[in-house]
Amino acid sequence: MHPNSIIFGSAYYEEYMPYNRILQDFTMMKKAGMNTIRIGESTWSSLEPEDGIFNFNHIDLMLQTAFDVGLSVIVGTPTYAIPSWLAIKYPDILVTGKEGQAKYGHRQTMDILNPNYRNHCERMIRELLQHIHKHPSIIGYQLDNETKSYGNYGPYAQQEFISYLKNKFPDINNLNSSFGLNYWSNRIHDWSQFPDIRGSINGSLNGEFKKFQRSMVSDFLNFQNAIVCEYLQENQFITQNFDYGWTTHSYGLQPEVDQVDAAKQLTIAGFDIYHPSQNKYTGKEISFGGSIARSIKNQNYFILETQAQGNINWLPYEKQLLSQAFSHFSNGADSLLYWNWHSIHNSLESYWMGVLGHDLRENRAYKEICELGQELKKYGDHIYHLEKNNQVAILLDHNSLIGLTEFPLTNNLIYNDIFRWLHDAIYELNIECDVIFSSQISTLTDLCKYQYLMIPAYYSAEESILHLINSYVEQGGHLICTYKTAYADEYLKIRHERQPYIINKCLGLTYQQFTNPDETTLKFSNPQLEKKHFETKVQVSTFMELLIPSTAKVIASYENTGFYDTAAITENNYGLGSAIYLGCHFDSTTLKDILFEYFQKNKFEMDQNQFPIIHKMGINQFQKTIHYYFNYSNSRQKVHVNYNNVYDLRGAVHVASITDFYLEPWDFKILES
């Protein structure tokens, strides 16, 4: 069951503490306004120190003290980090990846297909749940932790992959032709010839194996879900803490999990978002992370982990902890759990700092979190469970992400870069957006609820969806679509038809050639844009297609190149709608200019503010509209608004009329209208 107020707290590991201070910690939490702890997910070896011998002392102590103090508890199944005795007992239980078998020590190194692992998992979960499931403080369970296939290329995986393929291709000739196995003599005549997939140089087949690896994750979570369900009490939820693509922080779509599929059996989807801080804190990761999170089950979501003090270089500036928390709520998060309560004194994440530092005393971070708790107490019910009604959606697709990994356009442009390029541009323009996954599109209605559809490099495109996109534009939708869309089929086989396949219709263009630019710049048809970039030319970066417009109008063409004035960016009217095609990559400021004009022209109501002032909206449970205004910068900023009769939640004051106001660095205002 979905909870009915904001879950606010942190992960807690009594097992890691240098001395017993649980009552002190929980009292500090309560004082800070926290209401929930998340426990248990990393501690199998404490719970089952020997094979079949269980010890629930830590868990019991945490549950009892939580109950005494009045904290709710989310219990994680302790399966993502195995005890060493289990690895010693079954030498094949550690995962075999592309470069060989893992050694014991790290978390997330087991073969989740291994039946011995599965059996011990099940016994561990059942013993734990049998012991605790009636405890009144438990509000829900988290399955495992950021589950992946862990690069599983082991014997079970390879065997099951063959079954998976046999199932899809009963006739092996179809396998050969779908993946082009004739190339370099890779053709197989029967399944016994199927080689170790680790040597494959076939990008399409490798992509299919990664699809299969994603299905392992869903399967494993469903396996755990079924067990937990047997013990689940009324009003308890089951969740998982999904995560995102990762650079040095959450960056884009998680390549290794099909979260839409994996979340099907969950009550609610949870997410872990980590983002840059200090001068690099922009709210962007919280925003795209929230858009993905909302889309997974088309409902509000949990933040199960986010940074308190975080990595060494993430120590938040003053006010940033407050800003971070409300940024999550403004995107529709129904919970905020820090990772974690205290900093750890040993091992790998010692400098991934919690709310408390290593000295376990009150500090600047704790004090700011206390302020946060105070504010939530005052008006938390007004911002809880916001409903978003966005007019813009971004279409995401896992196969396309993998497609551009297996078939890279350059060494430095991945799918998530292109997604972030589009997302960040409209974020800075204060246009909020949803995410829609290709797997969620089955009828035109799925698209038509949006005025604008943005498509970053939908490389591995299904025919049916491409036809729906044509219809979407025909019926009045506005499309913003990048290069490389529609190029390959769902098995990453490149299509041999005219490009962009099918949607050349709504785009009004085709192309036959593309390249990496060699000092090529853009020339704009729009005189204002051309004037703006006359001195400093807009550089085409990393990739460009040589567009051949039929009905499309040229927005920009390439100049300073031996291809002469080929079209680069176009706009096309089609039916009742229109479509912009971005045939190349370039800087995000120029993208913002082009999109601003496109949105404005089509009568989209544009906010008066742009980044670093970010405006977020939603409908609360009282059916009022909540307006957030964030200043994501280190300097004082003016905010342009015009409201009558609003309630300033933070100031706790009704305002008859409000126009422009100032926000201090990293500060924010919340208005209810």
**CA–CA dist 440, 446 (Å, integer):** 8
Rule CB under 8 A: is residue 83 a binding residue for a second copy?
yes
In 332-462, which ranges are continuous DSSP H helix? 364-383, 398-406, 415-428, 444-448
CB closer to a second copy, 44 vs 630: 44
Q: Binding of a second copy at residue 463 (CB under 8 A)?
A: no
Question: Are 511 and 552 a contacting pair, CB within 8 Å?
Answer: no
DSSP 539: B
> What does residue 64 show for φ and ψ, rounded to 5 degrees?
-65, -45
What's the DSSP call for residue 77? P
Exactly one of 471, 515, 588, 673 binds a second copy (CB under 8 A); that residue is 515
Q: Which is nearer to a second copy, 361 or 603 (CB)?
A: 361
| CA–CA distance, 643 with 78 (Å, rounded to integer) | 50
Q: Give yes or no for a contact between 154 and 96, defined as CB atoms under 8 angstroms apart.
A: yes
Q: Is 46 in the site for a second copy (CB under 8 A)?
A: yes
Q: Which stretch binds a second copy (CB under 8 A): 112-120, 384-392, 448-456, 493-501?
A: 493-501
- Asked if 477 touches a second copy (CB under 8 A), the answer is no
Of the candidate spans 44-52, 134-142, 262-270, 415-423, the one that interacts with a second copy by CB under 8 A turns out to be 44-52
315 lies in the binding site for a second copy (CB under 8 A)? yes
Which region among 363-371, 413-421, 454-462, 656-664 touches a second copy (by CB under 8 A)? 363-371
191 near a second copy, rule: CB under 8 A? no
**CA distance readout (Å), 382 to 33, 270, 619:** 16, 22, 9
- Does 412 interact with a second copy (rule: CB under 8 A)? no
Q: Smallest distance, Å, CB 482 to a second copy?
A: 16
**In 3D, which of 168, 397, 413 has the Cα closest to residue 292?**
397
Residue 200 touching a second copy (CB under 8 A): yes
Considering the rule CB under 8 A, would residue 405 count as an interface residue with a second copy?
no
What does the block give as tokens for 232? 């689940």
Whether the bond into 516 is cis, omega within 30 of 0: no
Among residues 198, 382, 640, 650, which is the contact residue for a second copy, using CB under 8 A? 198
Range in contact with a second copy (rule: CB under 8 A) among 195-203, 369-377, 478-486, 521-529: 195-203
Handedness of CA 130, 135, 141, 145 (dihedral sign): negative
Residue 76 tokens, joined: 């994680």
Q: Is 343 in the site for a second copy (CB under 8 A)?
A: yes
- Cβ 623 to a second copy shortest distance, Å: 37
**By CB under 8 A, what part of segment 279-298 binds a second copy?**
279-280
What span, in angstroms and rounded, lies between the C-alpha atoms of 75 and 129? 9
Query: Least distance in Å: CB of 84 to a second copy?
Result: 4
Q: Is residue 55 within 8 Å of 18, Cβ to Cβ?
A: no
Query: CA–CA distance from 189 to each of 105, 171, 208, 493 (Å)?
Result: 42, 10, 19, 20
Query: Where in 58-98 does DSSP place strands (E)?
Result: 72-76, 96-97
User: What is the spatial distance between Cα 86 and Cα 97, in angstroms, rounded to a whole number?
Assistant: 19
Q: Does 186 bind a second copy (CB under 8 A)?
A: yes
Q: Is 19 in the site for a second copy (CB under 8 A)?
A: yes
**What is the DSSP code (8-state) at residue 540?**
P
| Total residues at interface with a second copy (CB under 8 A) | 108
Based on CB atoms, which residue is closest to a second copy, 99 or 234? 99
126-185: which residues touch a second copy (CB under 8 A)?
A: 177, 179-185
**Binding of residue 345 to a second copy (CB under 8 A):** yes
Radius of gyration over every alpha carbon of the chain, rounded to an integer in angstroms:
26
Q: Taking the complex as a whole, how short is the minimal distance between the CB of residue 184 and a second copy, in angstroms? A: 4
The only residue of 27, 116, 451, 516 in contact with a second copy, by rule CB under 8 A? 516
CB of 453 to a second copy, least distance (A): 25
Chosen residue from 364, 449, 601, 654 binding a second copy by CB under 8 A: 364
In the stretch 211-250, what mask flags binding to a second copy with x, by CB under 8 A? ----------------------------------------
Closest CB 195 distance from a second copy, rounded Å: 4
Would you call 412 exposed, middle or buried from its count of C-beta atoms within 10 A (0-12, 13-18, 19+)?
Answer: exposed
Residue 585, C-beta contacts closer than 8 angstroms, at least 6 positions apart: 413, 418, 421, 482, 483, 540, 541, 542, 543, 544
If one asks whether residue 380 binds a second copy (CB under 8 A), the answer comes out as no
Candidates 9-17, 285-293, 323-331, 643-651; binding stretch for a second copy (CB under 8 A)? 9-17
Least distance CB 660 / a second copy (angstroms): 24
Q: Could you give the 3-state DSSP secondary structure of residue 371?
A: helix
What is the distance between the alpha carbons of residues 276 and 324, in angstroms, rounded to a whole number? 11
DSSP character string of 26-56 = HHHHHHTT--EEEE-TT-HHHH-SBTTB---
Query: Which residue(s) pair with 573 in the sheet?
Result: 578
Choice between 42 and 331, CB closer to a second copy: 42
> 252, 245 in Cβ contact below 8 A?
yes
**Interacting residues with a second copy between 52 and 81 (CB under 8 A):** 78, 81
Tell which positions 602-641 bind a second copy, by CB under 8 A. 634
Among 1, 2, 4, 18, binds a second copy (CB under 8 A): 18
Pick one of 8, 12, 44, 558: the residue that binds a second copy (CB under 8 A). 44
Q: Which is nearer to a second copy, 287 or 561 (CB)?
A: 561
| Nearest alpha-carbon partner for 434 in 330, 595, 287 | 287
Considering the complex, state which of residue 163 and residue 512 has its C-beta at the smaller distance from a second copy: 512
CB-neighbour burial class of residue 603 (10 A; exposed 0-12, middle 13-18, buried 19+): exposed
For the CB of residue 358, give the shortest distance to a second copy in the complex, in Å. 5
| Contact in structure between 53 and 89 (CB atoms under 8 Å) | no
665 binds a second copy (CB under 8 A): yes
Figure out which of the listed residues 152, 213, 300, 499 binds a second copy, where binding follows CB under 8 A. 499
Q: Which stretch binds a second copy (CB under 8 A): 274-282, 394-402, 421-429, 466-474?
A: 274-282
Site for a second copy in 532-591 (CB under 8 A): 543, 561-564
Residues 85-124 binding a second copy (CB under 8 A) are 85, 87-88, 102-107, 109
